[in-house]
Amino acid sequence: MKACIFDLDGTLTDTLESLAYSVGETLKEMGLSPITSDECRRFVGNGARALMEKALKAAGETDGSRLDEGMEVYGRIFDANCTYHVTPYEGVREMLAELKRRGMRLGVLSNKPHLQTVKVVREVFGEDVFDCVQGQQEGIARKPSAEGVYRLMEALGVAKEECLYVGDSEVDIRTGKNAGVRTIGVSWGFRSREVLADAEAETIIDAPEELLSI
């Protein structure tokens, strides 16, 4: 293995507070009922539009007529708060440092909007850990499409047989499978071990250091 591509939210960083806060402030500004943090946890993983669509339905806006308004408000609020209380999971920094020491090339692929993905990675990890960082962008199909994985593999200069993909959700498991790369599920993120097993994750780890033996 020469490279490892990571999901961001729920895999490298605990971003639930930033997401829940931004969704809450969006619903408040729109005059809607709040949703719970647990609901927000279940709604993340498929990008900002899917998150807002589900959040608005949970808040009582079931016809979808205010989705574009919600996206505008959420985009503004989340951009200002995307690093709010964001921290790396325990053991992640050490795991990344050891992978770098071993000569692995590292990438991040997220369904979070690209500018916010870059902002979070730089704020939490600095600019010298990851070789490539990619969030959701116009013209690139979001996960579980394999397109983002292929683009990162090309940028990292590796073949699919030389690359791992690591994520915390059923979306990530499907992404890795669609790309034809070995895929690792992590149980400490936004989904349970059972959800990962149901998605037919071939390998599930419970702590970042377990990745080093793989």
Name the pTM for this structure. 0.89
Provide the CATH topology of domain 3-14+86-213: Rossmann fold (3.40.50)
Among 7, 9, 14, 168, the active-site one is: 7
Q: Domain 16-81 has what CATH class?
A: mainly alpha
Q: At what angle do helices 48-58 and 67-81 cross, to 10 degrees?
A: 120
Length of the chain: 214
Asked whether 187 and 166 are in contact (CB, 8 A), the reply is no
Rounded Cα distance between 207 and 177, Å, is 22
Strands 87-88 and 13-14: antiparallel
Q: What is the mean pLDDT of residues 118-125?
A: 95
- Domain ranges in the chain with CATH number 1.10.150.240: 16-81
Asked whether 29 and 73 are in contact (CB, 8 A), the reply is yes
pLDDT, tens digit, for every residue of 162-203? 999 999 999 999 999 999 999 999 999 999 999 999 999 999
Strand order in the sheet with 105-113: 132-136, 105-113, 3-6, 163-167, 182-186, 203-205
Going from the C-alpha of 162 to that of each of 3, 85, 180, the distances in angstroms are 6, 34, 11
Rounded Cα distance between 102 and 211, Å, is 13
Q: Is-catalytic flag, 7?
A: yes
Q: What is the mean pLDDT of residues 89-117?
A: 96
**Residue 82 predicted with pLDDT over 90:** no
- Domain ranges in the chain with CATH number 3.40.50.1000: 3-14+86-213
Q: Cα torsion at 56, 59, 64, 69 (round to 10°)?
A: -50
**Residue 204 predicted with pLDDT over 90:** yes
pLDDT, tens digit, for every residue of 39-77? 998 998 888 999 999 999 999 998 989 999 999 999 999
